[in-house]
C-alpha cells in the first residue's frame, strides 16, 4: 500500500492545496494531509481548527485523511509508514526552498522521497497569505478557498479585525 504525506501549514487551505490533494489522491492508495508547525508564520487558525476545515473540504476523497503534527516530518512519516512527501510548487522560488528541504529530509531518512507537483496554472498566484489579504479587503473568496470554509475565513478575519 502506497502512503504519501502532504505537509503544510494550510492556514487556510486553498483551492490550490485542494487541487494538489485531488491529484495526489489519484496516484497513492492513501494520502495524509498533515498540518505542521511553521515557526515563521503567525497562524490565523489553530492546528485543531485547520484540521477541521480540511476535513470538511476533503470529505469527497475516500483515501485522504488529515492530522496535525508538531514533530519532525520524517518522524511523523515513520509512524505512518509513509515513504513519499508531496509538495506543490507554484513558482521557481518555491522549488529553490522545497528542494533544500527535500535534501534535508533525505539526509535524515534515505527512504523518504519528495514528489514535486506543479500547481495547475489557474492557481499559481494563490497562497494562504493571498487569501487572508483578500479576505481583509472583503474580496469574494469563491475563487480562492473551498466553498465549505469561506464563511469560516470571513468570520475569523472579522474577529481579528475587531481586536
Domains, the chain, ordered by start? 3-162 (3.40.50.620)
55-60 contacts at long range (C-beta below 8 A, 24 or more positions apart): 56/146, 56/148, 56/149, 57/13, 57/18, 57/146, 57/148, 57/149, 58/18, 58/21, 58/33
Residue 106 has pLDDT above 80, yes or no: yes
Q: How confident is the model at residue 1 (pLDDT cuts 50, 70, 90)?
A: confident
Q: Which residues are catalytic?
A: 17, 41, 90, 128
Mean pLDDT in residue range 33-57: 92
Residue 154 has pLDDT above 90, yes or no: yes
Length of the chain: 163
Paired strand residues for 85: 5, 114
Residue 123 has pLDDT above 80, yes or no: yes
Amino acid at each position: 500500500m502506497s502512503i504519501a504525506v502532504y505537509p503544510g501549514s494550510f492556514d487556510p487551505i486553498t483551492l490550490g492545496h485542494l487541487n494538489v490533494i485531488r491529484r495526489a489522491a489519484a496516484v497513492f492508495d492513501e494520502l495524509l494531509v498533515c498540518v505542521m508547525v511553521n515557526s515563521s508564520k503567525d497562524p490565523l487558525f489553530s492546528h485543531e481548527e485547520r484540521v477541521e476545515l480540511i476535513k470538511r473540504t476533503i470529505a469527497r476523497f475516500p483515501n485522504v485523511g488529515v492530522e496535525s503534527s508538531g514533530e519532525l516530518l520524517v518522524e511523523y512519516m515513520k509512524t505512518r509508514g509513509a515513504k513519499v512527501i508531496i509538495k506543490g510548487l507554484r513558482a521557481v522560488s518555491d522549488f529553490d526552498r522545497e528542494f533544500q528541504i527535500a535534501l534535508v529530509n533525505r539526509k535524515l531518512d534515505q527512504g523518504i522521497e519528495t514528489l514535486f507537483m506543479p500547481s495547475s496554472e489557474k492557481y499559481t498566484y494563490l497562497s494562504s497569505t493571498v487569501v487572508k489579504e483578500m479576505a481583509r479587503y472583503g474580496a469574494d473568496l469563491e475563487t480562492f478557498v473551498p466553498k465549505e470554509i469561506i464563511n469560516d475565513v470571513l468570520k475569523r478575519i472579522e474577529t481579528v479585525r475587531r481586536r
